[in-house]
Amino acid sequence: MRFAREGYPFAAAFILAALIVYLVAGGGWSIPFWLLVLFVLQFFREPVRQIPADPKVVASPADGKVVAVSEAQDPISGEPATRIAIFLNVFSVHSNRIPVSGSVALTEYRAGKFLNAAVDKSAEENERNTIVIRTPQAQDVTCVQIAGLIARRILCYVKQNDAVQMGEKYGFIRFGSRVELFLPLDYSVSVSIGDKVKGGSDVIGRIA
């Protein structure tokens, strides 16, 4: 089990606080701080994932629960698309992964609110970061990181024209969030509402 680099400052801060309280006030008073250390270690865990070998499948961009599968408009192109929304609670792995191989055609950040990411309204009003991946078949797949009620930092590590591979880590959202994927209508979808998925390894669709 690996530990995400995004968690280093939090882990260091809580471990230092726990040690100081332990030395000053004793073991009993330090217990809440050690529990916070355990929470941080759990939240920022980054398990190794088995990436699908088939280049024509779509991998889940995030760990969590599928809360929507519906026809919608792609938020960038405005074209009809299939929207797959995945909700991440505080116990989910929060690394975000590339769903299909290709090149980054666009990245776009938009400030917004911090509504509960479990509800659909958050997809319209919350802070978000969007990337568009152009596949070798010249099709665009849009992936949107959406902040949640207590998620206050969206991290994205790719930029326009970067070459990306399915399953590789491209971002992180701290403390509860939502990720939405917009696929061309001719792509097949292999998940339903209520399914739990793992980012980078679970297949959620297939390229036409």
- Residues taking part in catalysis: 177
Q: Which long-range contacts (CB under 8 A, 24 or more apart) does 14-19 make?
A: 14/40
- Residue type, position 108, single letter: E
Question: What's the chain's Rg over C-alpha atoms?
Answer: 18
Nearest 5 degrees, angle CA 139-CA 69-CA 166? 40
> In 44-176, where do the E strands start and end?
45-46, 57-59, 64-73, 80-88, 95-97, 102-110, 128-134, 140-147, 154-156, 163-164, 169-173
Give the C-alpha separation, 142 to 105, whole Å: 10
Whether the Cβ atoms of residue 185 and residue 111 lie closer than 8 Å to each other: no
For the record, the structure tokens of 6 come out as 């995004």
Structure tokens at 53: 């070998």
DSSP summary character for residue 74: -
